[in-house]
Amino acid sequence: MKYSNPVIKGFYPDPSVCKVEDTYYLVCSSFQYFPGVPLFESQDLINWTQIGHCLTRESQVQLGGVNSSGGVFAPTIRYHAGRFYMTTTNDTTRQNFYVWTDDIYSEWSEPVYVDQGGIDPDLYFEDGKAFFMSNGTGDDGIGGVVQCEINISTGAKRSPSRSIWQGTGGRYLESPHLYKIDGRYYLMAAEGGTEYGHMVVYARGDRLSGPFEAYPHNPVLTNRNLGGYELQGVGHGDLVQDGNGHWWMLHLGFRQIGRWLTYHHLGREVFLTPVTFGEDGWFTAGHDGLTLTLFTTDRIPETVRQRGKKLDTFENTDWALDWCYLRHPEKSNYKLQNDRLLLHGTDVALDEPASPTFIALRQKDFDATIACEVLLSAREEGEAGITLYMDENHHYDLAIRSGADGSRSVIKRLNIGDVKSVEQEIKLGREGAVRLLIRSGHERYHFFLVEDGREIPLGTAQTRYLSSEVAGGFTGVLIGLYAVGQDVSAEFTQFICEYV
């Protein structure tokens, strides 16, 4: 059968996967967004359904004052002795921790902290012992992939933290994962930075503490030399074996907006690539070490069909699964209903590293139509509408604005770095709900006010200014609904996000 990449679209970076019986479970990074660490399940590796989050309570993760692309970094999910573990880093507080659950569909524990630095932690279990890895610096001051034994009940170290591998020489060694396969230990990691030079590398050894011998043909997977190819930034992978003995890698990558336009704004996404072990015990990945947009494989039955959701509405999305907030929200400002959303604004604006009244979906494809009806109630200055949000300094807003004199208008505002500019404004002559419309393409967003079925254009904006190449950071564009102003309330209805 044929399957298309990515298998999970939009800003779901740094995937980690484990298999329990006939089901695969996958987690991703969430950074400053809450709830933290999206959790998915699949029966076939290509169709994934979100079933929850690992961090759903404020007590589990500190996000107050966290800047964009701070907070929760790359997680790892593992299963041992009937229990699921998810370990991750809060990069802002510089703490590594893990949470656990005996029921994957229920709540996860309070955090258990590990006194080892670095980021991108991993857990490995063997012979009743638990080992913790991260990329950082060992107790002896040597950097690289650092390992220690821990008490899995308390997180306390049972051995010194020691660097067991320094990688292959590429910059930003990260994402270490350890496996035991056919009697050998395999240590896989990423190098090159999570950008266009990203790559997966690995080594193997006879003991879990090393020494490790690097694969002679590293990197085992990278798209770094494919100029003009849509899929770029391939790296940060995790291995899993299916029920038929085949190996796969779930890893991140991103889609650039055009053949010669090296910008990406949808974020880093989840890709699936086949892995093959040779008779010599080394493995290869993908098509000659490349990840493709379309793979043909006999490893997945022809009866399996890859599904794709083309329409998001209030009615067919789940507020607790599909939507997210910036940092820890004040829940009293949100009323979430089946067919409508009621928001109460505060003085916190979208440009602040705080928690404005904001709830959002990840943008999952380039070509989309985004629209909703907005009814604004305001006694003072304020606004409410749709934001295409990358971070505090990079977002495009289409909103209804209320003036101190009671006037109302629809604005299109571009926020690009230090430039905050209302590019278009149309005065509204009547009360009542207003329909806002955005059409998204690879290279541009197009903004409209809809009145009496007539689309009134408010201009366009280039997608590249919301890209990681311009904004920096590790996230992607979210489609946010927001309200700003202490005396502002807004009702959102008839929301759609339809992908072509």
What pTM was estimated for this model as a whole? Answer: 0.97
CB 85, CB 98: distance < 8 Å: yes
Q: Across the 500 residues of the chain, what is the mean pLDDT of every consecutive 10-residue run?
A: 97 98 98 98 98 98 95 98 98 96 98 97 98 96 97 98 97 97 98 97 97 98 96 98 98 97 98 98 98 97 95 98 98 97 97 97 98 94 97 98 91 97 92 95 98 95 98 98 96 98
393 and 269 fall within a common domain:
no
Is 151 domain-assigned?
A: yes
Specify whether 183 is located in the same domain as 52: yes
In this prediction, residue 379 carries a pLDDT of: 82
Q: Could you tell me if residue 301 is inside a domain?
A: no
For residue 449, what is the domain's CATH number? 2.60.120.200
Q: Is residue 262 part of a domain?
A: yes
The answer on 85 and 217 residing in a single domain is yes
Same domain, 464 and 325: yes
User: What is residue 354's predicted lDDT score, i.e. its pLDDT?
Assistant: 96
- Is 495 part of any domain? yes
Among residues 266, 296, 326, which one ends one of the domains?
296
Does residue 304 sit within a domain?
A: no
Whether residues 448 and 322 share a domain: the answer is yes
Q: Specify the pLDDT at position 225.
A: 95
Q: How many domains does the chain have?
A: 2
Is 327 found in the same domain as 285? no
CATH of the domain at 261: 2.115.10.20
Residue 306 domain-assigned? no
14: annotated active-site residue: yes
Residues 229 and 177 in one domain: yes
Domain assignment present for residue 40? The answer is yes
- Residue 102 forms part of a structural domain: yes
For residues 169 and 133, membership in a common domain is answered with yes
Q: Are residues 288 and 370 in the same domain?
A: no
230 as an active site residue: the answer is no
Point out the catalytic residue in the list 44, 120, 122, 174.
Answer: 174
Dihedral Cα 151, 152, 154, 160, nearest 10 deg: 40
d(CA 269, CA 290): 16
Among 263, 296, 329, the domain-final residue is 296
In the listed set 250, 272, 296, which residue is the last one of a domain according to the structure? 296
Same-domain check for residues 345 and 385:
yes
| Same-domain check for residues 264 and 382 | no
Domain range enclosing 355: 311-499
Q: For the chain, first and last CA: distance in Å?
A: 23
Give the pLDDT score at 247. 98
**322 and 289, same structural domain?**
no
